[in-house]
């Protein structure tokens, strides 16, 4: 959560930082701020609200000259979102200025000690404590900024990505990382700092991703010194070539990133299986899995840990892994798993699923599973992310940058990878027939064009959205492979439209939720061709006889459900195990249109942030 940006070099820092903040706004958007050094003085401007509010404020508040600066967009943890709690924060002397993404857990104790030494605090933030702690250490120990930062971070408990400079020494920025991401872009005589590479992608393709417990001293026109925060060892910088391009992080003519990302799904699903799925030859090849197949095939069970939408992808995987590979699967919320002393042995394989690769709970679950001896496999979208590095091996989804806070293409590409893994393991174990194996490989190759077909219902789905945009509650029902899709559909609606929605296994309805059904309750039922078709038809009848309104997701060519439903959305036919890749599309579009009609901020829904790097 929170986005940080910094620049030191020969260009004007302000436009780079402002633009960078706009690109990182998906990480948090409660407040924003900037500190610029104009060659003589540091100028600070910050405000509650969005980066656009900051842009307005800067116009009347500070000069925008200077080639050194840092900026921040915030998702509030300590202290309500207001102007004072916004970053950057300045030390009591006015000389040190800092931005921070993360949480300093022991800030209250540190704050008391600093107050006893005469420090005063304006804000309620943990970050203001950190910058004053650094200042106090600088004074007491008579050390340079880098050393003071290092000593301070050794006293701190928590997570951080920080960047700070000293107005007395405006040729250097000090950065450090533990648990929150931090990338350094390397230009010619210039350096960029950011939570991800998107703020500097048009300036350089070379970046260093700091590892946890590393800090860097970045000197204008000179070099970068990276060292361990504990122990003081120097680290050789590892410069990566970025694969991301500008087009991927722009809206490309769509009104919202979410819509663009929904429409990217045919392409990114293909990107995700390209080179891995060789249907003609009957081969699935996953680099990260090849050397570890036996870990999976000999495992007592697979435990999947994830949060939110990634957890829903894990639930889909439970069905396909058990069906094809006959390996018992448990799917856990990472946040629960990490705190309940789970029974895990070295015979367990843990799969961690995360789009961002930075989710704090998932990361903690991985660390716990590793401590207990399990083999941990990661499925991440962001290359080089913390989770991708913390896991023993893994497979990347190739969704490209997902900017909309509501996850769409990450979900379908996660299911694509999980399907490939399940098929590979089933083949290896001999638990799937050759004909079934081949059928699913071929059908998976057809999914991108079938997603395109499903997207053609967009106008019709928009009309359905118009009818239901003002209701207060929705129920989503699905069975089997589509039960997790019902959960995902409800989550999508909740998070971007703020309409209350519940996802349920269709057959569970009669154990309670049926009491909610009346003529005002829209029920989205996933009623595609499947083994449960007849049973879902019965569920629909139960709803109809209580005057509920049915919005059904049906397979093209369906007759029965279409007749019974008040509204329907069609998807092409595909084997049941692959249907989540299609049914999801209709539900994403339904949520999107309702949210747009309600004038919601679709890409940045209230109270949320794209990557949840705090507990
Ligand atoms: O980056 P991750 O996949 O680990 O994120 C997990 C959840 O925070 C995320 O899926 C969240 O639920 C989305 N907002 C859902 O659209």
410-463 residue pLDDT tens: 999 999 999 999 999 999 999 999 999 999 999 999 999 999 999 999 999 999
pLDDT at res. 386 = 87
Per-residue pLDDT, averaged over 214-235, amounts to: 92
Per-residue pLDDT, averaged over 263-291, amounts to: 95
Q: Which of 335, 337, 355, 610 has the most ligand 1 atoms within 8 A of CB, as the residue to mutate? A: 355
Residue 592: both structure tokens together: 């999107």
List the chain domain ranges.
3-248, 252-455, 456-597
Ligand 1 centre and the CA of 437: distance in Å? 31
- Sheet-wide strand order for 329-333: 329-333, 301-306, 348-354, 375-380, 393-396
Ligand 1 centre and the CA of 458: distance in Å? 24
Backbone phi and psi for residue 478, each to the nearest 5 degrees, phi listed first: -155, 160
Question: From start to end of 265-364, where are the E strands?
Answer: 277-278, 283-284, 301-306, 329-333, 348-354
Query: Rounded to whole angstroms, how far apart are CA atoms 528 and 509?
Result: 18
Catalytic residue among 2, 22, 295, 307: 2
pLDDT at res. 80 = 83
pLDDT at res. 607 = 87
CATH 3.60.20.10 assigned to domain 3-248? The reply is yes
Query: Rounded to whole angstroms, how far apart are CA atoms 556 and 356?
Result: 35
What confidence category does residue 352 fall into, taking pLDDT thresholds of 50, 70 and 90?
Answer: very high
Summarize pLDDT for 463-495 with one digit per residue, the tens. 999 999 999 999 999 999 999 999 999 999 999
pLDDT at res. 531 = 86
Question: What does the H/E/C string look like for 121-166?
Answer: CCCCCHHHHHHHHHHHHHHHHCCCHHHHHHHHHHHCCEEEEEEEEE
Residue 111: is its pLDDT beyond 80? yes
Query: Rounded to whole angstroms, how far apart are CA atoms 322 and 372?
Result: 24
Residue nearest ligand 1's atom 7 by CA: 308
pLDDT at res. 252 = 85
Nearest to 262 by CA among 254, 273, 250: 254
Classify 100 as helix, strand or coil: strand
Q: What does DSSP say about strands 96-104 and 89-90: parallel, antiparallel, or unpaired?
A: antiparallel
610 tagged catalytic: yes
For 155, how many CA atoms within 13 A lie in the half-sphere containing its CB? 20
Instruction: Classify domain 252-455 by CATH number.
Output: 3.40.50.10490
Q: Which ligand 1 atom sits nearest the alpha carbon of residue 406?
A: 16
Q: Which of 335, 360, 612, 615 has the most ligand 1 atoms within 8 A of CB, as the residue to mutate? A: 612
Ligand 1 centre and the CA of 582: distance in Å? 20
Ligand 1 centre and the CA of 612: distance in Å? 8
Ligand 1: residues whose CB is within 6 Å? 307-310, 354-356, 359, 362, 405-407, 495, 608, 611-612
Ligand 1 centre and the CA of 408: distance in Å? 10
Ligand 1 centre and the CA of 551: distance in Å? 26
Residue 1: is its pLDDT beyond 80? no
Query: Rounded to whole angstroms, how far apart are CA atoms 40 and 518?
Result: 69
**For the purposes of burial, counting CB atoms within 10 Å of the CB of 211, is it exposed (0-12), middle (13-18) or buried (19 or more)?**
middle
Residue 79: is its pLDDT beyond 90? no
In contact, 392 and 409? CB cutoff 8 Å = no
pLDDT at res. 456 = 97
Q: Which of 262, 309, 358 has the most ligand 1 atoms within 8 A of CB, as the residue to mutate? A: 309
Ligand 1 centre and the CA of 309: distance in Å? 5
Query: Rounded to whole angstroms, how far apart are CA atoms 21 and 5?
Result: 7
Residue 14: both structure tokens together: 């302000």
Residues 6+ apart with CB under 8 A from 81: 30, 31, 48, 74
pLDDT at res. 448 = 97
Q: Which ligand 1 atom sits nearest the alpha carbon of residue 611?
A: 1
Ligand 1 centre and the CA of 352: distance in Å? 13
Residue nearest ligand 1's atom 4 by CA: 354
pLDDT at res. 68 = 97
Query: Rounded to whole angstroms, how far apart are CA atoms 493 and 592?
Result: 8
In contact, 137 and 152? CB cutoff 8 Å = yes
pLDDT at res. 77 = 75
Q: What percent of the chain has pLDDT over 90?
A: 87
Within this chain, domains 3-248 and 456-597 share the same CATH topology: no
Residue 251: is its pLDDT beyond 90? no
Q: Which of 308, 352, 606 has the most ligand 1 atoms within 8 A of CB, as the residue to mutate? A: 308
Summarize pLDDT for 120-161 with one digit per residue, the tens. 999 999 999 999 999 999 999 999 999 999 999 999 999 899
Nearest to 21 by CA among 41, 40, 49: 49
Q: Which ligand 1 atom sits nearest the alpha carbon of residue 382?
A: 1
Query: Rounded to whole angstroms, how far apart are CA atoms 432 and 169?
Result: 66
Question: What single-letter DSSP state applies at residue 506?
Answer: G
Per-residue pLDDT, averaged over 348-358, amounts to: 96
Give the CA dihedral 350, 351, 356, 358, nearest 10 degrees: 0
Per-residue pLDDT, averaged over 78-87, amounts to: 86
Instruction: Classify domain 456-597 by CATH number.
Output: 3.40.50.10490
pLDDT at res. 5 = 98
* Lowest-pLDDT choice from 15-19, 108-112, 322-326, 610-614: 610-614
2 tagged catalytic: yes
Burial 343-377 (b: 16+ CB within 10 A, else e): ebeeebbbbbbbbbbbbbbbbbbbebbbeeebbbb
Residue 336: both structure tokens together: 């629960």
Average pLDDT, the chain: 94
Q: Which ligand 1 atom sits nearest the alpha carbon of residue 306?
A: 4
Catalytic residue among 22, 177, 409, 610: 610
pLDDT at res. 383 = 83
Backbone phi and psi for residue 161, each to the nearest 5 degrees, phi listed first: -130, 120
pLDDT at res. 250 = 84
* Lowest-pLDDT choice from 9-13, 524-528, 551-555, 603-607: 603-607
Residue nearest ligand 1's atom 8 by CA: 308
Helices 580-597 and 483-497 sit at what angle, rounded to 10 degrees? 20
């Amino acid at each position: 959560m929170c986005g940080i940006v910094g620049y030191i070099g020969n260009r004007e820092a302000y436009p780079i930082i402002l633009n960078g903040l706009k690109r990182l706004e998906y990480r948090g958007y409660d407040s924003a701020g900037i500190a610029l050094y104009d060659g003589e003085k540091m100028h600070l401007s910050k405000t509650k609200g969005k980066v656009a509010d900051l842009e307005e404020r800067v116009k009347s508040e500070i000069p925008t000259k200077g080639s050194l600066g840092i900026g921040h967009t915030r998702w509030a943890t300590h202290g309500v979102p207001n102007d004072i709690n916004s970053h950057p924060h300045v030390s009591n002397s006015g000389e040190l200025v800092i931005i921070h993404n993360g949480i300093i857990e022991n800030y209250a104790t540190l704050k008391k000690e600093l107050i006893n030494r005469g420090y005063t605090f304006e804000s309620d933030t943990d970050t203001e404590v950190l910058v004053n702690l650094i200042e106090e250490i600088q004074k007491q120990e008579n050390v340079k900024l880098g050393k003071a930062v290092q000593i301070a971070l050794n006293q701190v408990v928590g997570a951080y990505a920080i960047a700070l400079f000293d107005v007395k020494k405006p040729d250097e920025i000090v950065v450090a990382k533990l648990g929150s991401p931090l990338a350094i872009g390397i230009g010619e005589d210039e350096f960029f700092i950011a939570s991800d590479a998107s703020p500097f992608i048009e300036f350089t393709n070379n970046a260093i991703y700091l590892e946890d417990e590393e800090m860097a001293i970045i000197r204008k026109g000179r070099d970068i010194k990276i060292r361990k925060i504990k122990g003081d060892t120097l680290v050789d910088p590892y410069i990566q070539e970025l694969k991301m391009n500008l087009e991927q992080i722009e809206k490309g003519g769509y009104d919202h990133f979410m819509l663009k990302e929904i429409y990217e799904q045919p392409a990114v699903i293909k990107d995700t299986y390209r080179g891995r799925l060789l249907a003609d030859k009957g081969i699935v090849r996953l680099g990260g899995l090849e050397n570890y197949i036996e870990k999976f095939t000999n495992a007592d069970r697979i435990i999947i840990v994830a949060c939110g939408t990634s957890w829903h992808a894990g639930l889909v995987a439970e069905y396909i892994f058990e069906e094809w590979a006959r390996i018992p699967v448990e799917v856990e919320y990472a946040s629960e798993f990490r705190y309940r002393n789970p029974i895990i042995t070295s015979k367990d394989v843990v799969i961690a699923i995360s789009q961002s690769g930075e989710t704090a709970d998932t990361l903690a679950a991985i660390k716990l599973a590793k401590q207990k001896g399990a083999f941990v496999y990661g499925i991440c979208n962001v290359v080089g992310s913390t989770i991708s590095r913390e896991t023993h091996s893994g497979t990347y989804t190739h969704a490209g940058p997902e900017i909309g806070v509501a996850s769409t293409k990450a979900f379908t590409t996660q299911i694509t990878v999980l399907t490939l893994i399940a098929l590979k393991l089933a083949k290896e174990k001999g638990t799937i027939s050759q004909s079934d194996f081949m059928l699913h490989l071929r059908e998976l190759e057809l999914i991108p064009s079938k997603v395109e077909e499903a997207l053609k219902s967009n106008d019709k789905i928009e009309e359905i959205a118009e009818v239901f945009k003002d209701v207060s509650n929705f129920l989503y029902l699905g069975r089997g492979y589509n039960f997790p899709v019902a959960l995902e559909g409800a989550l999508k609606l909740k998070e971007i439209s703020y309409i209350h929605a519940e996802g349920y296994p269709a057959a569970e309805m009669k154990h309670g939720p049926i009491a909610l059904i009346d003529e005002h309750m829209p029920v989205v039922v996933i009623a595609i061709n499947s083994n449960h078709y007849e049973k879902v038809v019965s569920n629909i009848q139960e709803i109809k006889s209580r005057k509920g309104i049915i919005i059904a997701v049906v397979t093209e060519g369906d007759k029965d459900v279409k007749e019974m439903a008040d509204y329907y959305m069609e998807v092409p036919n595909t084997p049941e195990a692959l249907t989540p890749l299609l049914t999801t599309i209709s539900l994403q579009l339904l949520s999107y249109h309702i949210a747009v009609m309600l004038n919601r901020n679709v890409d940045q829904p209230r109270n949320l942030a794209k990557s949840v790097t705090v507990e």
